[in-house]
Chains A and B, each alone.
Chain A
Amino acid sequence: MSRASDAPAAPVPDAGRGSFLAAYGIWIALAIVIAALPHIFSSGLALSMMSVMGTMIVFALSYNMLLGQTGLLSFGHAVFFGLGGFFAVHLMNALSGGEAPMPLIAFPLVGALAGLVFGIVVGAVATRRAGTAFAMITLGIGELVASSALILRSFFGGEEGISTDRTDLIQPFGLTFGPQIEVYYLIGAWCFVSMAAMYALTRTPFGRICNAVRENPERARFIGYNTQTVRFIAFSLSGLFAGIAGALAAINFEIMNSAQLGAAESGSVILMTYIGGIGNFAGPVIGAILVTYLQFTLSDITDVWQLYFGLLFIAVVMFAPNGIAGLLTLQEPLIRAGNLGRVSLYYPLAVVPALVALAGFSLMVEMTYRLSVGGSEMSFLYVPLNARAPLPWLAAIVLLGGGGWLFLRGARKVGQVYGDAVQEGLRR
């Protein structure tokens, strides 16, 4: 399996004063962005959306430690997310009102510890195998924990879950964490720290060996590494970060529910990570932001948003296996050769027909949905229409067919131009 290199522009270790900025500039910029965002998007909805995004970034990155870095496809990652959250909630409830010297900001550590411990326990069983068997084991363990959660009611709270009050702890420096903005900064800080830690991990020899185990386990064994141990350590650490994300979710929502450790949550992290791109450290970040944004906004626009979501995922698996980040890194050789501007003029040839085809397809989906819920009057892109009339269906078919045909032609042309431009860049 070919993947793009892991790190976006590895810091060049050249001597001199500029190297500090070159190596850490992106992180300083990231910190500034995280700090500045609430001042740009200050509405309540934006704040809560960004809080969820921060949580999901940590979760998706922790998942990519498995899928992207070590090549392990897990179907039960939400187990650690959920357990991290549940342990944080229970400790918050146990310490509520008291004077225990544990401020809210330290609670993600609880999640981290829970995630790590369960990561070690589950990892000891699951990482004995790789590949499909590993996927099956994680699926089984995920189902096992999710269905046990419905039985162990006093810990998991049954259907309604366990709620807590994040403001009922000691409050150093007058930080009550009542307002969402304070929670946003808590999540932002933890997100930043986790991102930095996970990135640093990819730069260590251990991170490299994980890549080796992903690419060619046999060779990794031949140079003297126990692949099972490598998988085990990667799995446990990824549990740790998933636990942090779970605790952040618990702090944000002040409730944990057994659904949060189930198959749906595990599935959504796979979607996020893969759509963003597993071959690049920035991929899961992009995926988490995009998918969370879509979850918040699409559900207002259409009732069948999850269908589009699944189709987007399939499209990414089929046509862009390196995800959105992969598509972005494809532009890198063009930038180096200095002909991105010229090539990008051709992109609309593929993008516009694709949008037309998408509109046709989505018109069909929406009309089908309208017919199945009963009734026929609807509006699509502000155009009122009747789902029983033949004309809209004809229009949808024309849009889909014509757009699809033009897209195939356009995509071929763009591919040609792209290939030529890259070749030209290489010759220079």
Chain B
Amino acid sequence: MFEIVFISTLNGILYGMLLFLMASGLTVIFSMMGVLNFAHAGFYMLGAFFGFEISRRVGFWPGLVIAPLLVGLIGMAVERYGLRRVHRHGHVAELLFTFGLTYVIQQAVEMVWGKLPVDYEVPRSLDFPAFTVFGTEYPAFKMFELLISVAIFLVLLLVIKRTRIGLVVQAALSHPGMVAMLGHNVDRVFMLVFGVGVALAAVAGVIAGPALVTQSNMAGLLGPILFVVVVVGGLGSLGGAFIASLLIGLLQTFAVASNASLADLFGSSASAGALQTYLSDIWNVTVAQVAPILPYLLLVLILIFRPRGLMGTRET
């Protein structure tokens, strides 16, 4: 039992940190520009596939640097020539633009790399067990993923809280007009933030790719979860996004590891038998099977009972 709890906690934190790498960019972009970037998971996928392509030709380590840079550049171009243009037509048009972008990224990836999973290998220098608990080997690559995401989290925190750039970004969040008045180029700040945001998502893609499956549906699988994180944490709140990422990471890993079902809970008494015939689907479903639904359930509950999210300051 303790073994499952330990491994699940570790995996949950890891998954949560990966989610946060993406959610942080998403939520900063949202609070700055009011754009919920639908294509954020698409950029994560691009990161994974670029990382794969570079690691196949040059190696994993160059990929870790080059792929996010490339994706960041693409993101900046998208902001400069796409989003900024659509901005005039209002938020619905912006949302639809990024929605269309998801579609295009997905199709482009399918066109170039096909629909089947690609063989994105863990780099040899990290392909060994980090430690052994209860006879289970925990791969070093996962520890490396954890390390990278924690490091980026700390750097991000320092940049936003301690540097002049962070100050301008924070100011542009709440008072874009005033920041422009003081002589900062708000448009350029937006472009950079968008680029850095999607580059972070790409980092997540590069380091998650070898551990998870690098496939053209990975954006579609992860995208909705990302929105759950951002909404549950409170739109525009970095701290909230952090907590919600960990919460959802842990929730999903623990749910997957659990085999309980209503049938187990109630045993097989006579009254349960009657219920069982009517609710056979629900009755025998294990918690693990319900795992994919849980984040959305959480989303709906949060929106009903606490619409501004865990740490949000404004009503969404």
Residues of chain A at the chain B interface (Cβ within 8 Å): 1, 67, 71, 73, 75, 125, 128-129, 131-133, 135-137, 139-141, 143-144, 147-148, 151-155, 263, 267, 270-271, 274, 304, 306-307, 309-311, 313-314, 317-318, 321, 365, 368-369, 372-373
Contacts and interface: CB of A to CB of B under 8 A. Distances in A.
Nearest to A313: B100
B36 A141 contact: no
20 contacts: A1-B90, A125-B303, A128-B307, A129-B316, A132-B91, A137-B299, A140-B299, A144-B296, A147-B292, A151-B290, A151-B293, A270-B99, A306-B103, A307-B108, A307-B111, A317-B93, A318-B85, A321-B89, A369-B111, A373-B114
A153 B282 CA distance: 9
If over half of A's interface residues share one DSSP class (helix, strand or loop), that class is named, otherwise mixed; here it is helix
B107 A304 contact: yes
Contacts of B9: none
A306 B107 contact: yes
B157 interface: no
Given A271-B100, A313-B100, A368-B111, 4 more contacts: A129-B315, A129-B316, A132-B316, A314-B100
A144 B91 contact: no
B113 A317 contact: no
Interface string B211-251: 00000000010001001100100010000000000000000
Nearest to A73: B92
Contact of A125 (B92, B293, B304): B304
Nearest to B291: A147
Interface residues on B, range: 35 or more
A344 B158 CA distance: 59
Contacts of A144: 293, 296-297, 299-300
B92 A1 contact: yes
Contacts of A136: 36, 227, 231, 299, 303, 316
Given A132-B316, A140-B300, A270-B99, A311 B280 contact: no
Nearest to B94: A317
Contact of A270 (B96, B113, B220): B96
B89 to A, nearest CB: 5
Interface in B92-136: 92-93, 95-97, 99-101, 103-104, 107-108, 110-114
A372 B99 contact: no
A314 B101 contact: yes
A63 to B, nearest CB: 13
Contacts of B220: 263
A154 B280 contact: yes
Nearest to A312: B100
Interface string B57-99: 0000000000000000000000000100110011111011101
Contacts of A304: 107, 110-111
Nearest to B282: A152
Contacts of B112: 368, 372
Contacts of A309: 103, 107
Contacts of B99: 75, 267, 270
B257 to A, nearest CB: 18
A1 B96 CA distance: 14
Contact of A372 (B82, B100, B111): B111
B285 interface: yes
B95 A139 contact: no
Contact of A307 (B97, B104, B282): B104
B96 to A, nearest CB: 5
Nearest to A131: B91
B289 interface: yes
Given A128-B307, A132-B316, A321-B89, A141 B107 contact: no
Contacts of B82: 314, 318
Given A317-B96, A369-B111, A143 B104 contact: no
Contacts of B85: 318
Contacts of A143: 224, 296
